[in-house]
Amino acid sequence: MPTAKSILAATDFSGTSREALHVARELGEALDARVHLLHVIPDPARLPWSVDTGLAFTDLEKDWRHHAELALAHARDEAGLPRVLTPTIVAMGDAATEIVAAASAVGAAIIVMGTHGHGMAARLVMGSVADKVLRHADRPVLIVPHPSLKHLDAAAEIAAQGAAR
C-alpha cells in the first residue's frame, strides 16, 4: 500500500532526470519521506541487435548493472540525497513496466520522473516512458518537464499579464 513516507524517483541520467531528482529530494524533505532511486537497464537478450551475435548476455548485463549502480550513486550525491537513507534500485526490462512495478514494490505514494519534451509527433511514433507510466500507474505521477519547456511558462505569464491590461 502506498505511503507518504516513500517516493520513487526514476532516472535515465539525463538533464531532465537530474531536475526530477532535485524535485524528489525537495518533496521527500517536505513530506519526511524516503526517496528510492531507480534506473532501468534494457534486457540485452531482447534488443534487436542482439540476435545471432553470440554475445555473453550475462557479462553484458553485469557490466550494465555495475555502470548503472555507479551512476545512481553519483546522481544521488549530485541531487543532495542522503546516502544512507536513499536506496538505489537497478531493474532490467521495459522502463515503464519496471517503474510501475518498483513503485508498487517500495510502496511509493508518488512516482517522480522527468520527460524529454519530444512533442506529440515523437510520442505518436515511438511512445514515451512518462506517458506509459501515467497510463499504467496506480498512484500519482509527478512529471518534471524538460528544461527547454520552461520558456513556455514565461511566455504564458507574459501573455496573461498582457491580457490583464
**CATH number of the domain enclosing 155:** 3.40.50.620
Within 10 angstroms of residue 15's Cβ, the number of other Cβ atoms is: 12
Highest mean pLDDT among 14-28, 37-51, 117-131: 14-28
- What domain range is 115 assigned to? 3-164
Q: Which pTM value belongs to this model?
A: 0.80
Q: What's the pLDDT at 51? A: 53
Among 25, 27, 17, smallest CA distance to 117 is for 17
Number of structural domains found in the chain: 1
Q: Average pLDDT over the chain, rounded to whole?
A: 83
> Tell me: the pLDDT tens digits for 62-115?
898 999 999 999 999 999 999 999 999 999 999 999 999 999 999 999 999 998
Within 10 angstroms of residue 71's Cβ, the number of other Cβ atoms is: 17
Q: What's the pLDDT at 1? A: 54
- In this prediction, residue 125 has a pLDDT band, given cuts at 50, 70 and 90, of very low
